[in-house]
Amino acid sequence: MGRLGTLARAEDANSPHQDQRRPNTPWRIRIGTFAATAAMVSAGIVLGAGPASAAPAPVRLTSASCPAEIVQGQTSGCVTELQNLLNTHGAGLQVDGQFGSATLYAVREYQAATAIAVDGRVGPATKSKLYATGGSAPAPINLNSSSCPANLVQGAKSGCVTELQRLLIHHGYSIDVDGDFGSGTASAVRSFQSAHGLTVDGQVGTNTKRELYDTDESPSTGLDLRSASCPANIVEGQSGGCVATLQSLLNGKGHSLDVDGSFGPQTLAAVKAFQSASGLSADGEVGPNTKAALYSNIGGGGGSGAPAPVNLNSSSCPNEIVQGQRSGCVTELQSLLNHHGADLAVDGDFGPLTGSAVRDFQSEKGLSVDGKVGPNTKAALYGAVTPPSSPAPGGGYAKMLDVAAAEVGTAEGSARANSYGSAVGLSLSTSGYAWCATFVSWVAKQTGATSYRNTYVSGWVKQARAGNYHLSVTSNPQPGDIVAFDWNGGNDFTGGHEHIGIVRSVSGSSFTTVEGNTSNPNGGGDGVYVKSRSTNSSYDVLFIRVR
């Protein structure tokens, strides 16, 4: 997660990714989150390549044959086309031409991630964005499924190739996602194989597949508990990706579990506590009602549509946005509040629930609690942090956690997240590269804690081990320290399997972090979020003191 193919670094001089760039797509769902893995996660839903045989033939959404708004309950070729488009962005839907609850969920997630009014209705703005961010390709299929050949080779055209291309993009290669294994994809495969010490034959076999899925978020928490890939009732004693997702969701509700994919006594206790707090039967079994409650904070509406969002600081929005107003400014406000943990229907209507969410947000941020969205509240909603004036290097380490924590909830691809690149001289969308180390660099710049900046995790580790730039390695981590992860072990923090964040709290072998470019514990796209980690896990951890 600490690699950036657009920059050349001394320690990465031989990297095949040098001077390559990921496509600057406005929306990218990382493997291990809402559903780049949903292609593999919806095994019982997606695993037969392409649309179901009963699906109506796809019809272009912008044609006269499709209604101005495509909504839940409709069945048509327009819905088939919609599902295909959503699947090219990782939704993992069964393509049946029926606009059901799963399609509604995918539409809302896509809208939230691309700053469209989250109303679940596919109107002109959503249609335009879907086509602008990528055309149709076969629905992605897990490379390890029985639907994909043992060796995927040049010339193949299928959802297996779509999945391969998405994984290659995730590892930093600039290729089209069209489901067609052409020369460009073949070249990327050979480069990937060379970089990872594999036989360079251009064929995607067992070893290459395993390495492609060895991604920078571990363990995988991409499985949707409500999908056919997970048991109807998840119970103590089970293990795997569904349990990892369960643990991640519970942590998002305030628990502090190790996300190890094993449903043991601690997970059982957390499930019962959550069920009790949610008014459910505290039986420790994660069935439909408990799953629904765990996912209950997914933002969404479903009313009669919402005005297109408008930046709160634009001249189109009043100086103070107040209850009773209905506009695109309110749409934007509600989306921002949801990014900070609210659970509002994004309908562009500033009613009592939005007013209550505004007051809660103001109270949390230490602002005047008046329910009016003026300049200070707007700045806080966009996560504005005022850096200290000319801080001396090494003098702002105590502020590292404060600055990082203020960014929690910032969504990948948003203007705020994209601004982090300024710390390292980048003006790229965070939807297009691995930016965890960029985030740490930005935090360091805001505080002046160290003058070091690097987009590679390996760079931070190297300088800490050398004792440069007020950085050192510590075995006694404290809040505000930096922590580096080597997901595939070896303690070398190279090869593209690493990650980095800021320590938030420590309790024995367990600790929490604030991380950029990480999956949302509550489901949805990547961003800046709090994660629970442990030193007693399969990955290597190195703590960096900033003094």
CA dihedral sign, ordered 170, 100, 130, 381 = negative
Q: Give the containing element (helix H, strand E) for 427.
A: none
Averaged over successive runs of 10 residues, the pLDDT of the chain (547 residues) comes to 32 27 32 33 34 74 88 91 80 85 80 64 81 60 84 91 76 69 91 83 91 52 61 81 73 65 85 88 92 61 51 83 87 75 71 86 85 91 50 64 87 81 72 83 87 83 87 92 86 78 91 89 78 83 92
Number of alpha helices (DSSP H) and beta strands (DSSP E) in the chain:
18, 6
Q: Give the containing element (helix H, strand E) for 201.
A: none
pLDDT of 39 reads: 34
pLDDT of 215 reads: 47
Nearest to 175 by CA among 345, 292, 25, 279: 25
CATH of residue 128's domain is: 1.10.101
Considering the domain boundaries, does residue 473 fall inside one?
yes
- Do 401 and 541 sit in the same domain of this protein? yes
- Do 361 and 438 sit in the same domain of this protein? no
- Do 281 and 246 sit in the same domain of this protein? yes
The residue range of the domain holding 372 is: 325-382
Check: CB of residue 451 under 8 Å from CB of residue 409.
no
- Do 537 and 410 sit in the same domain of this protein? yes
- Do 348 and 373 sit in the same domain of this protein? yes
Distance (Å, whole) CA 444 – CA 441 = 5
- Do 363 and 263 sit in the same domain of this protein? no
- Do 472 and 430 sit in the same domain of this protein? yes
- Do 401 and 540 sit in the same domain of this protein? yes
Check: CB of residue 522 under 8 Å from CB of residue 339.
no
Six token digits for residue 240: 């795997």
Distance (Å, whole) CA 205 – CA 475 = 40
Considering the domain boundaries, does residue 261 fall inside one?
yes
Nearest to 171 by CA among 42, 30, 8, 33: 30
Considering the domain boundaries, does residue 176 fall inside one?
yes
**Using CB atoms within 10 A of its CB, is residue 379 exposed (0-12), middle (13-18) or buried (19+)?**
middle
- Do 443 and 540 sit in the same domain of this protein? yes
Helix (H, G, I), strand (E, B) or coil at 388: coil
Omega cis (within 30) before 387: no
- Do 246 and 112 sit in the same domain of this protein? no
Q: What is the count of structural domains for the chain? A: 5
- Do 403 and 378 sit in the same domain of this protein? no
Considering the domain boundaries, does residue 352 fall inside one?
yes
Q: What is the dihedral of CA 435, 438, 443, 448, to 10 degrees?
A: 180
Beta strands in 228-271 (DSSP E): none
Six token digits for residue 391: 């801080």
Domain C-terminal end among 337, 357, 382? 382
pLDDT of 339 reads: 62
CATH of residue 253's domain is: 1.10.101.10
Question: How many CA within 13 A on the CB side of residue 161?
Answer: 23
Helix (H, G, I), strand (E, B) or coil at 189: helix
CATH of residue 417's domain is: 3.90.1720.10
Considering the domain boundaries, does residue 26 fall inside one?
no
Nearest to 442 by CA among 410, 487, 474: 410
Strand 527-534 versus strand 540-546 pairing type: unpaired
pLDDT of 483 reads: 96
- Do 409 and 514 sit in the same domain of this protein? yes
Residue 40, amino acid: M
Considering the domain boundaries, does residue 491 fall inside one?
yes
pLDDT of 477 reads: 93
Domain C-terminal end among 317, 347, 382? 382
Distance (Å, whole) CA 74 – CA 67 = 10
Considering the domain boundaries, does residue 10 fall inside one?
no
pLDDT of 393 reads: 43
Q: In 10 A of CB 183, how many CB atoms?
A: 9
Considering the domain boundaries, does residue 315 fall inside one?
no
Distance (Å, whole) CA 243 – CA 160 = 26
Six token digits for residue 383: 């996560």
